[in-house]
Chains A and B, each alone.
Chain A
Amino acid sequence: MSLEFSADAQKKITALCERYQVSGSKKPVVLAALHLAQKEFGHLSDDALRLVARTLDLPYAHVYGVATFYTMFRREPGGTTTIRMCTNISCMLRGGYDVLDAFEKKLGLAKGMSNQKFSLVEEECIAACANAPCALVGTKYYLDITPAQVAGIVEELERDPRPESEVV
């Protein structure tokens, strides 16, 4: 199925191509275009990658290579809200894995898995180490989390989903 960008996304891409004219190509816009495609289509299917390739005059193989290199891009459908729970060293030292366990239990999801509402990601450092353990959900940071707070966080996000595409 052939996909098309919305008029708004197309406008943004055109503006960015102009912005990066100094580079002599549209290639620097590929990350932004992939972010936009993920926002519009939920995930980066083969058709979404073809659309980005066509829009920026790039080979499909190049776009595929880029889309599969960066961890924020997903090739499969995911939940509306992505919970990025850090377990790296600073978080681990203060109970990050216990918090991750609590998220897995409350969501009924193993790390790395999704349902319609949520994706649960075991994240590498999110640069909030002084408030470990911490999780990142869209533009919101949950800091100094204890396992006991996890149920409340999930319920809050069920009421008020926070898609990452908010800033795209």
Chain B
Amino acid sequence: MPTGRDTKIVTARFGNEDAKTLAGYERTGGYQTLRKALAMRPEDVTAEVKASNLRGRGGAGFATGVKWGFVPANSPKVHLVCNADESEPGTCKDRELMYWDPHLLIEGMVIAAHALRAQHNFIYIRGEMMREYAVLQKAVDEAYARGYLGKNILGTGAEIHLTVHRGAGAYICGEETALLNSLEGMRGQPRLKPPFPAVKGLFGNPTIVNNVETLMNVPAIIDKGGKWFADLGMGRSGGTRIVCVSGHVEKPGVFELPIGITFNELINEVCGGVWKGRKVKAVIPGGVSMPPLDEHELDVPIEFDALQTDERIKPVNYLPGKQFDLGGGKALRTMAGSGGVVVMDDQTDIPKALWRILKFFAHESCGQCTPCREGTGWMEKVSRRIADGNGKPGDLELLGTIAHGIAGNTICALGDAAAWPAMGFLTKYWSEFEAKIRRAA
């Protein structure tokens, strides 16, 4: 049964000031599921999450229960880290989630920590989120005082700690291994994988890193069952999905929706259509890292697999006629990413939009790998001169070639994240870029 548009799992308490306090959260049924979970065997909690088809809401869409299963059995020390470093442009859900329902995150984390047998756990929150940090820290203090965190939780003997750790400004720290390095007190530079964090992560111990929205879905899964959650979704994707819609729509916002809703339905029925009576030119489906959809590709659902494989979406080229293998051997179309949907109307200056995206990546490259450090800077320069009306013949080929040289050749995915939109926009709006360069000549 597909879920209705009014099914709310993680946004049910939005707007409810009272529920931000521990007492108010309890009044809405909060921390009841924790009692149930602590009475379950850890492996049964993980099995329920596996059955739910919950997929990571941070960007990659990896199956959460499967990830939890990667922790080697009998590891003496395991950590759970919540990635609350939301900074993918176009994405504004985790900040809202933490602000409105901090205890749901804590409850989800304690349940997950029980499943993972993780004692010392952390929320790594983006440094700029000062308001949300204050909200979370207060909620964590309340949870300790009430015995939902600490030693002998609810008299069960369980010992689970939670520390809120503030970052200090770096997009790269949203990458899980950079986040772990930052948490360890180092520069936020990604680590080579393998070993994956589930085997060797924080302080050298097995570590599971999950996104805020992901962890906040866990209590409902344990409360109502994995099957219930799986049935809400479609295909291999369980539950609802939060989309953050920004840009040229009448009613931008953060919406929790059925995961099978299409982009056309999202824009026209949920967001009141494109603003000023205009038409769509481009839609970024899941944060600026993801290749865009054009106006003919919007009957595709927002769901993870659909965006990767639906053949109504044109493949990405790095040069005209030369297809790029997005996803390393999989030739994916695009990805659902972080749920940040950016709508651009038919009067949008696409070369300028691409320049702004590439400027961001040039600013955020951590400098560790040469292709990304140098390449993002070059892409910003070339795209800027095109956007400024000073483009030269050959600039588009140059841009595509640089992007192709970055993708797949760096330690982490930031290089890909910069290259993919460059190739995606060039593929779908080549003639607009060309026209701009012709005018310059």
Contacts and interface: CB of A to CB of B under 8 A. Distances in A.
Q: Most chain-A Cβ atoms within 10 A of its Cβ — which of B185, B248, B253? A: B185
A87 interface: yes
B181 to A, nearest CB: 10
B151 interface: no
Given A90-B342, A93-B247, A139-B130, A31 B185 contact: yes
A3 interface: no
B94 to A, nearest CB: 7
Contacts of B353: 89, 92-93
A70 B94 CA distance: 21
Interface string A5-43: 000000000000001101111111111101100000000
A104 interface: no
Interface residues of A, number: 50
B168 A73 contact: yes
Contacts of B202: 23
B13 to A, nearest CB: 18
B86 interface: yes
A145 to B, nearest CB: 14
B425 to A, nearest CB: 12
A72 B342 contact: no
Given A70-B170, A124-B360, A138 B246 contact: no
Contacts of A127: 86-87, 91-92, 94-95, 126, 129
Interface residues of B, number: 59
B326 to A, nearest CB: 20
B182 interface: yes
Contact of A27 (B77, B120, B185): B185
Given A90-B247, A93-B353, A126 B131 contact: no
A2 B252 CA distance: 52
A167 B95 contact: no
A55 to B, nearest CB: 13
Given A71-B170, A89-B342, A92-B353, A24 B203 contact: yes
A164 B87 contact: no
A69 B187 contact: yes
Contacts of A131: 92, 252
Interface string B253-283: 1100000000000000000000000000000
B313 to A, nearest CB: 20
Interface string B87-116: 111111011000000000000000000000
A138 B254 CA distance: 23
A88 interface: yes
Contact of B166 (A20, A35, A125): A35
A111 interface: no
A28 B344 CA distance: 42
A27 B184 contact: yes
A94 interface: yes
Interface string A82-104: 00100111101110000000000
Given A28-B185, A93-B342, A129 B134 contact: no
A124 B120 contact: no
A23 B203 contact: yes
A124 B92 contact: no
Q: Most chain-B Cβ atoms within 10 A of its Cβ — which of A19, A88, A167? A: A88
Q: Name B's interface SS.
A: mixed
A63 B356 CA distance: 32
Interface string B208-250: 0000000000000000000000000000000000001111100
Given A89-B342, A130-B246, A140 B131 contact: yes
Interface in B163-198: 163, 165-171, 182-188
A164 B168 CA distance: 11
B288 interface: yes
A127 B101 CA distance: 17
A30 B167 contact: no
A48 interface: no
Contact of B130 (A24, A30, A138): A138
A90 B185 contact: no
Nearest to B288: A89
A62 to B, nearest CB: 8
Contacts of A87: 356
Contacts of A140: 131
Nearest to A19: B163
B356 A88 contact: yes
29 contacts: A22-B120, A31-B167, A65-B187, A66-B185, A69-B187, A70-B169, A71-B169, A88-B356, A88-B360, A89-B90, A90-B247, A92-B352, A92-B353, A93-B247, A93-B342, A93-B344, A94-B247, A127-B87, A127-B94, A127-B126, A128-B95, A129-B92, A130-B92, A130-B244, A130-B245, A130-B253, A131-B252, A136-B128, A167-B133
4 A-B pairs with least C-beta separation: A27-B185, A71-B169, A70-B168, A90-B246
Interface of A: 19-20, 22-32, 34-35, 58, 62, 65-66, 69-73, 84, 87-90, 92-94, 123-132, 136, 138-141, 164, 166-167
Given A31-B185, A124-B364, A129-B91, 14 more contacts: A22-B120, A30-B185, A34-B168, A35-B168, A66-B186, A70-B188, A90-B90, A90-B246, A92-B356, A129-B89, A129-B244, A132-B252, A139-B134, A167-B131
